[in-house]
Amino acid sequence: MQMKRVIPCLDVDAGRVVKGTNFVDIRDAGDPVELAARYELAGADELVFLDITATHEDRGTVAALARRTADDVFIPFTIGGGIRSLEDAQAVLDAGADKVSVNSAALARPELIRELAAQFGSQCVVVAIDARRNTAGAAGWEAFSGGGRHATGRDVLQWATEVEKLGAGELLLTSMDRDGTKDGYDLELLAAVSSGTRIPLIASGGAGEPRHLAEALEAGADAVLCASIFHFGAYTVGDVKQYLTDRGILVRPLSA
Amino acid sequence: MSAQICIVDYGVGNRRSVEKAIHKVGGKPVISSEPDVMAAADGLVLPGVGAFPSAMERIEALGLDDAIASAVRRGAPILGTCLGMQLLFDRSTEHGGARGLGLIKGEVVALDAPGAKLPHIGWSEVEWSGNSELTSGLGESASFYHVHSYVTVPADPAAVIGWSDYGTRFASVVEQSNIYGVQFHPEKSSANGLRMLANFCAICDEAAR
């Protein structure tokens, strides 16, 4: 049986974590590598680093981050934010990242997904989709680019199907409506995308308590991305996994 | 423990992670595509991600197939991980099919997991069958990080020392004298993976004595 995954997300700006858990007695809460190692010990199944600087000058900083993380962290990690080309992806994968996540660059030029998959294998390619529920009576969701700033006119379900065909290995689906609300994931969105695609689905946006994670996994997500639920110290990875286990959801046990 | 482990370099992505993990458990990793380095190593790790046919093409173009075969003949332990495990077999059906290294009898076929999503990405429990030094200290089963869409079907079931389950049960650890293969990524499987790599380094140490 497949275990569902719990994936903490760390926002990184110019090589420093700007949103991450302040673990007790941590030396440097802004050091991505120290935080990542703590999360591994705490039982995280994978990690995502989201580079929010994502400028051209920042590319070297991100590769250095991947390199240092790979030195000390022995769970898979993904780098997202600012990956626009095969060269960008090559730099962080060579440094030791396991996957790259692309969003705006793929919306601007969908062929990028096919090229990344051909070069590195589908398992390296996560396509992130920022989805906003249509208003004014229209059903469905629209994909946004530029960190949620630009409407693309693309229907999320169609886009998800297309990126799967282009060779994406996983989908990272964020509900813009729920992001930051702590009201729970957009379960309708997750169920719709999960039933329309065959690649693993990572849910993102809206988690405020362990119950929300369980609901997302039950709605069809294969993994849950968590930011504020851990960052503000309300719950540990252990708390969350205990809750999921008690609810009958299979997750990787904390020890052994 | 100070076994010198050659991580066979044929241009795939995850060499560095394997190097760091072996270093972490006290082995001496060296990434190389030089037959001389492979001949001098106490053991080999054959890593791999991506597609089977293009990996085999690169290995043959670099003459690494002969170097690997000769290391195996002199008794050096070899550990294939993920695609590296699959390459140990006779052939694969991936992308129209290709011949493998032929060190273990059997073939590589698409993972048939009814109702499950593909690729198989994530942690799965591996159940050991039989005793092996490779799985020593890892209980009766342990979780490892898997990423793959194809699986090996060994001709000799006795070669299988670990099974995973993803909609269907498949061989995820094989052992045949000094040849070992794991379908998952030990270098990304936290404490369990490091334990397995430490076991492999110990096997290489012993073989070198």
Question: Residue A28: what pLDDT?
Answer: 73
Assess contact for A94 and B13: CB atoms under 8 A: yes
Question: Residue B140: what pLDDT?
Answer: 94
Assess contact for A225 and A9: CB atoms under 8 A: yes
Partner residue facing B119 (CB), from A1, A122, A256 = A122
Residue of A46, A252, A254, A255 for testing the chain B interface, max B β-carbons within 10 Å: A252
Assess contact for A231 and A23: CB atoms under 8 A: no
Average pLDDT over residues B179-186: 98
| Chain B contact for A122 (CB, 8 A cutoff) | yes
Q: Residues B95-115: pLDDT tens digits?
A: 889 999 999 999 999 999 888
Element at A204 (helix H, strand E): strand A201-204
Nearest CA in chain B to A69: B17
Question: Residue B1: what pLDDT?
Answer: 60
Average pLDDT over residues B170-188: 98
For chain B, the domains span 4-208
User: In 3D, which of A61, A24, A5 has the Cα closest to residue A244?
Assistant: A5
What amino acid is encoded at B208 in this protein? A
| Cβ partners under 8 Å of residue A6, min gap 6 | A43, A44, A45, A213, A223, A224, A226, A237, A240, A241, A244, A251
CA distance A178 to A145: 17
Pick A245 or B12 by higher pLDDT.
A245
Neighbours of B39 (CB within 10 A): 13
User: In 3D, which of B180, B160, B178, B179 has the Cα closest to residue B170?
Assistant: B160
Residue of A74, A172, A173 for testing the chain B interface, max B β-carbons within 10 Å: A74
Question: Residue B62: what pLDDT?
Answer: 94
Neighboring chain A residues of B192 at a CB cutoff of 8 Å: 256
In degrees rounded to 5, what are phi and psi of residue A141?
-135, 150
Question: Residue B77: what pLDDT?
Answer: 98
Question: Residue A191: what pLDDT?
Answer: 98
Please name the fold of domain B4-208.
Rossmann fold (3.40.50)
Question: Residue A30: what pLDDT?
Answer: 84
Known catalytic residues of A? Answer: 11, 130
| Chain B contact for A155 (CB, 8 A cutoff) | no
Tokens of B164: 């995973």
Question: Residue A255: what pLDDT?
Answer: 64
Nearest CA in chain A to B16: A96
Q: What percent of chain B lies above the pLDDT cut of 90?
A: 88
pTM over cut 0.80 = yes
Q: Residues B114-141: pLDDT tens digits?
A: 888 899 999 999 999 988 999 999 999 9
Chains A & B: contacts with CB separation below 8 Å: 97
Instruction: Give B155 to chain A, closest Cα distance, Å.
Output: 25
Instruction: Give A149 to chain B, closest Cα distance, Å.
Output: 31
DSSP letter string, A142-183 = EEEETTTTEEEEEEHHHHHHHHHHHT-SEEEEEETTTTTT-S
Question: Residue A70: what pLDDT?
Answer: 93
**Is the Cβ pair B119, A123 closer than 8 Å?**
yes
Question: Residue B52: what pLDDT?
Answer: 92
Q: Residues B142-164: pLDDT tens digits?
A: 999 999 999 999 999 999 999 99
User: In 3D, which of A56, A92, A60 has the Cα closest to residue A77?
Assistant: A92
Rg (CA), chain B: 15
Question: Residue A121: what pLDDT?
Answer: 87
| Chain B contact for A96 (CB, 8 A cutoff) | yes
Mark residue A206 as left, alpha or beta (left: phi above 0; alpha: psi -120 to 50; beta: remaining).
Answer: left
Rg (CA), chain A: 17
pLDDT tens for each residue of chain A, 256 residues long: 689 999 999 989 888 888 666 666 666 778 899 999 999 999 999 999 999 876 666 777 889 999 999 999 999 999 998 899 999 999 999 899 999 999 999 999 999 999 999 888 899 999 999 999 998 778 899 999 998 899 999 999 999 999 999 999 999 999 999 998 899 999 999 999 999 999 999 999 999 999 999 999 999 999 999 988 887 778 999 999 999 999 999 999 876 4
Instruction: Give A144 to chain B, closest Cα distance, Å.
Output: 26
- Say whether B187 is catalytic: yes
Neighboring chain B residues of A249 at a CB cutoff of 8 Å: none
Average pLDDT over residues B48-67: 92
**Is the Cβ pair A222, B122 closer than 8 Å?**
yes
Question: Residue A256: what pLDDT?
Answer: 44
Tokens of A9: 């997300």
